[in-house]
Chains A and B, each alone.
Chain A
Amino acid sequence: MAEGNLDAIARACRVQIIRMLTHAGSGHPGGSLSVIDILTSIVFGRLRHDPKRPDWADRDRIVLSKGHAVPALYTVMARAGYFPESQLITLRKLGSPLQGHPDRVALPGIEAATGSLGQGLSIALGMALGLKLAGSPARVYCILGDGEVQEGQVWEAAMAAPKLGQPDHPLDNLTVIVDYNKIQLDDFTAKILDLEPLVAKWQGFGWPVLEIDGHDLAQIAKALDAAEATRGTPTLIVAHTVKGKGVSFMENNPEWHGKSPKPEEAVTAIREILGVTEMAWPDYLKTDATTRAVVDELRALDKK
């Protein structure tokens, strides 16, 4: 899909992320906004899947190891047709398949239960190996948080991956992406437990590593292409990102790791995501009925 299109989709998904988190009254905007360009690029740029057949054996798989960013995944899944977009605002509500963290049993299309950080890469290794053993052409994409990379299990998997399945079934069907937004829950990653030198660490474990701007769609596409073309080994993409990307008051601010916006904050956030100035906003809303409806719906939450 052309980059212009992907850009529009990512923007629409950002709006939906803000919308659903505001309805939920809790959740994780920062890490959802930092990863959405990557997710959009994978799902609408290359993923071989069929939302009508989520159990298709040869589908490509996404393991969102940083499971708290699942609102981002839900927005792309809804857009791809796994469930109606209207269901997004049931996020975190009792009885909804849109659980606060990914639930494989509750929602077809979710590949792994994550939310306890550090477990996804191992599952992705197993999937990649299983697909290889089955002779499947499918690929596995695994997305890690940078704070998450502090978990010991990540390094167990990192050490195993370049060797697992060799020589007949190397895991070159696996692409791993670190959403390197430099912030974890308590504070900046460099202050809590610095990952640096991150690239050299993975290289030392035997991985080819690509470093990109995780909000530049052309760079993302190029890196995903390169990973897919690589033979004999999985590839790591270190994507430099901005936590809270697209919303000025959320960007680079640890405060917005795990709290949802209030309705008025959400409206401001949506305006910024759409790139409209405060001055132009009232007129803009007259021309964009869809956004107008979302804004009205969010403002109504205040009155509840």
Chain B
Amino acid sequence: MASKASRAAFGEALLELGARDPRIVTLDADLSKSTMTARFAKAYPQRGFNLGIAESNMIGVGAGLALTGKIPFVCSFACFVVGRFETIRISVAYTNANVKIVGTHSGIAIGEDGYSQMGLEDIACLRALPNVPIVQPADELETRQAVAYAVEHQGPLYLRLTRQNLEPVCPPDYRFQLGRWLTLRAGRDVTLVASGGTVFNALEAARRLEADGISAEVLNAASIKPLDEDALVRSATKTKHVVTVEDHSIHGGLGGAVAETLAEVLPTPVKRLGVVGFGESGDAKGLYAKHGLDPAGIATSVKKFLNR
């Protein structure tokens, strides 16, 4: 498979699933060209709704549709849809409405638009809600499966997607399961837990580390909540060092989830890599280098963490 943005894979998957399942509807807030639901709305005009630049209303309407048996996907940039946190909190989560929340354009990887358009705290916000699984696929194959899973899953769910293209990382026979992480590379000295857009860079970093005699295990944490405690503990028991890599604030995201879990079940040194402070405008490559999320930056941080 070629590289593809997870938002594009999402749009295609939904288009296909929509043909089979009439319960699926899409809701947008004037970003349907960007969230890639525009084709769904064109193919199924009775089931695609653009509610204008009004995200709270979109989420609430989604909740109402869910309560009448539809499976609504409410879509916007991650920052804008999760920005309506309190509406999600009550109308979706507490109501246990079967709403699929889709946040695209996650992370600093969106680049030039700058902080106001970057979803950087969305995982932190939604992790605090008891009943909202958080899924962040790492490539096209995984995205397609995650979307299919979201349709089957009963209850709210958050799908975190990228604007940028993602290189394939999952093997062809891969099957997404909520709460299960795939080991993409086995290693002995350190565990790299990555998710979404950073998985490929973590794999690249692992290859560089190999050249320096460091054996890194790479886990693809597509299921950020619930996380795969078994896989995490198994790997951490072996390597005794865990590094998390995510395009999200280092506070409250994947790194936070991993650190919290290990602190309770298997105290292990953890290094969290992610975005420190606000994001800013710039080219994605430059931003990843600045925040140490490119392969070179990850490798450097790992060596420092291991005192090597």
Contact = CB atoms under 8 A, between A and B. Distances in A.
Contacts of B287: 94
B116 A115 contact: yes
Contacts of B31: 185-186
A282 interface: no
19 contacts: A25-B112, A92-B281, A93-B281, A94-B280, A96-B281, A98-B281, A103-B280, A117-B53, A147-B30, A147-B52, A152-B57, A184-B53, A185-B31, A186-B28, A186-B38, A186-B50, A192-B50, A193-B50, A193-B54
Contacts of A92: 112-114, 281-282
B176 interface: no
B179 interface: no
Nearest to B290: A94
A143 to B, nearest CB: 15
A101 interface: yes
A118 interface: yes
3 closest A-B pairs (Cβ-Cβ)?
A115-B116, A94-B282, A193-B52
Interface string A1-40: 0000000000000000000000011110000000000000
Interface residues of B, number: 31
B83 interface: yes
A162 interface: no
A116 B79 contact: yes
A114 B32 CA distance: 21
B45 interface: no
A148 B80 CA distance: 13
Nearest to B113: A100
Nearest to B33: A186
Interface in B100-131: 111-117
A148 to B, nearest CB: 6
Contacts of B111: 26
B33 A150 contact: no
A96 B281 CA distance: 8
Contact of B114 (A25, A100, A184): A100
A114 B117 CA distance: 10
A95 interface: yes
A151 interface: yes
Contact of B283 (A27, A94, A98, A106): A94
B30 A185 contact: yes
A150 B52 contact: yes
Nearest to A184: B30
Contacts of A94: 280-283, 286-287, 290
Interface of B: 28, 30-34, 38, 50-54, 56-57, 79-80, 83, 111-117, 280-283, 286-287, 290
B76 to A, nearest CB: 11
Nearest to A91: B281
Nearest to B117: A115
A147 B52 CA distance: 7
A274 interface: no
Contacts of B83: 116
A152 B56 contact: yes
* Most chain A CB atoms below 10 A, which of B33, B51, B79: B33
Residue from the set B33, B34, B53 with the largest chain A CB neighbour count within 10 Å: B53
Contacts of B28: 186
A184 B34 CA distance: 13
A230 interface: no
A103 B114 contact: yes
Contacts of A116: 79-80, 83, 116
A285 interface: no
Contacts of B32: 186
A93 B116 contact: no
Given A94-B290, A100-B281, A185-B30, A115 B114 contact: yes
A291 interface: no
Nearest to A24: B112
A101 B116 contact: yes
A99 B280 contact: yes
Contacts of A186: 28, 30-33, 38, 50
B115 A193 contact: no
Contacts of B115: 99, 101, 103, 115
B210 to A, nearest CB: 30
Contact of A193 (B34, B51, B286): B51
A152 B282 contact: no
A99 B114 contact: yes
Interface string A153-197: 000000000000000000000000000000011110000110000
A95 B112 CA distance: 11
A24 to B, nearest CB: 6
